[in-house]
Structure 1
């Protein structure tokens, strides 16, 4: 199973809420007028433009370069993005970087873009603790410290581990049935199929997490 990077961005960019445009037109952006097309990324040329256009220097200049490099060079087609939109999060599959000349002005500034295929939206309260902690760091854009799999993201966005995401109707399951199910998962973890092993391990960990919270 392939492992991809996860990034977090926010809907407010350049002092404007762009949630509607992002979701309807399938993209995310960084505010960066006056820099021109940043692909391929040239750090020295970018620094010179930032000093000239925005009078940036020192730590502010370094921080801005890190953000631009992350967006243009580190993010890749197929990676994941979480868009923080007030009390909601939108999850999507990132596309390539592209530059929009008509948006390269200070009124808009959304000229540095990446396409996104949006896959799911949900309240932040329903997201897994790992995602909440990542978002709570308040750094936008940012990259999650570890690669993630499709299965991990499915679990994290399911809300299954949160009380707010559980169904109002619950079903009692006897301990013998639970033990039998866990035994089956343990056997699945011995499979030669890597994806099957990962799914079984994730299911056992999810069960253990729920059991501790009860």
Structure 2
């Protein structure tokens, strides 16, 4: 089981509504061909044949080669590295969405669509949560420069949806939650604890001290 991030920026950000409603995700590359049985070098040839990475001038050659390699890495990952049953993350400015990936397929009806949406994988969307609430590993994955990136860390064996959340954010929220009792009652309880600090019973003194220190955090 692996986890992948698919970056949606620029004009591709408009696709997120379609992804969520129609249960798929796509790789936005200009190759007009079904890549289901294509290896990495076959994909490279298809990208070159598309004409999108031809050098216009000599000084642009290195930049075009870099763009070609980045596109090759993303498309090869999307077609060959992703597997049925892996997980995928997409995000907009506010929310992160987790989905269960299906097989790669080529939708020829989408060949002429701007941005390239013909290379697809089905997705069963499982969970969404605020972008500010996900853990640092997810934040880093979503910030990748690649269009499609594989997470390289260790994943939980179960409940991927629970792993996404930043547990410290939940702890912080709990720690700063409003008091459920009025100030007068709190003051009275503290007075009792302070009195207990001078009890001849050592165990009672320790419990009172622990309670006061916990409140003071």
What TM-score do the two structures reach when normalised by structure 1? Answer: 0.68
Q: How does 1:121-160 map to 2 (within 5 A)?
A: 121-151=128-158, 153-160=160-167
Aligned match of 1:182: none
Contact 1:13 1:30 in 2 (8 A): no
* Aligned mates of 1:19, 1:106 — CA distance in 2: 15
Counterpart check, 1:33 vs 2:40? no
Aligned match of 1:43: 40
Structure 1 or 2, whichever has the larger Rg, is 2
Instruction: Provide the aligned length of Structure 1 versus Structure 2.
Output: 169
What TM-score do the two structures reach when normalised by structure 2? Answer: 0.67
* Aligned mates of 1:67, 1:93 — CA distance in 2: 19
Aligned match of 1:5: 2
* Aligned mates of 1:58, 1:158 — CA distance in 2: 38
Contact 1:5 1:147 in 2 (8 A): no
Contact 1:87 1:124 in 2 (8 A): yes
Q: Which moved more, 1:4-13 or 1:70-79?
A: 4-13
Q: Per the alignment, do residues 135 and 109 of structure 1 end up closer, same or farther by CA in structure 2, a change over 3 Å counting?
A: closer
Contact 1:76 1:95 in 2 (8 A): yes
Q: Per the alignment, do residues 126 and 62 of structure 1 end up closer, same or farther by CA in structure 2, a change over 3 Å counting?
A: same
Deviations 1:160-182 (A, max 9, x none): 321598454689xxxxxxxxxxx
Aligned match of 1:24: 21
**Structure 1 unmatched ranges of 5 or more:** 172-213
Task: Output the aligned Cα RMSD.
Answer: 2.7
**Structure 2 unmatched ranges of 5 or more:** 54-63, 181-216
Contact 2:29 2:71 in 1 (8 A): no
